[in-house]
Amino acid sequence: MATVRREIRIHRPPDDVWALVRDAAALHRWFPGLVASEVDGTKRVITLRSGLSMPEEIITIDDDLRRFQYRITSPIVSNHQGTIDVIPEPDGSLVIYSTDISPDPMAYVFSGATGAALDELKAQMEA
C-alpha cells in the first residue's frame, strides 16, 4: 500500500478552515474535478466532472481533533483511506491531507488531486 501526504499552510483560524473541511457535502466546492458530493449518514457519493460516481464511507468527523477520515468503497481501488487534519498554528492553520491507497500506482493520481484540492482550499479561505 502506498502513502501520500500533502500539506499546506492557510492564513485563517483553524475553526474557519475546519468548518469547510468537516462539511462532507461541500467537498465539491474545493476539490477540483468534482461536481457534486451527496451525503446520507456515513455514506457519501462524489461525482467527478466525467460523470463517474464514487461511493465513500465517512469514518470520522472529529471536531476536537479537527480530523476528517473517509474510505473510497468503489472497486476503482482495492484499499483506500483519506485523512484530513486541520492543525492550529500561530498565524493560521496547517492542513495535512494523507492518503493510504492500493494499488500503489493510484498514489500518483491521488497525490496530484489532493495537492490541487489543498491549493483550492487555501485560495478560497484566504480570499
Q: What is the pLDDT of residues 91-127, one digit of tens each?
A: 999 999 999 999 999 999 999 999 999 999 999 999 9
Domains of the chain: 2-126 (3.30.530.20)
* pLDDT over 90 (residue 35): yes
pTM of the shown model: 0.96
What residues form DSSP beta bridges with 10? 93
Residue the block writes with cell 498514489: 107
Q: Give the residue from 81, 83, 77, 71 showing the smallest Cα distance to 106.
A: 77
Spatial separation of the C-alpha atoms in residues 108 and 71, rounded to whole Å = 17
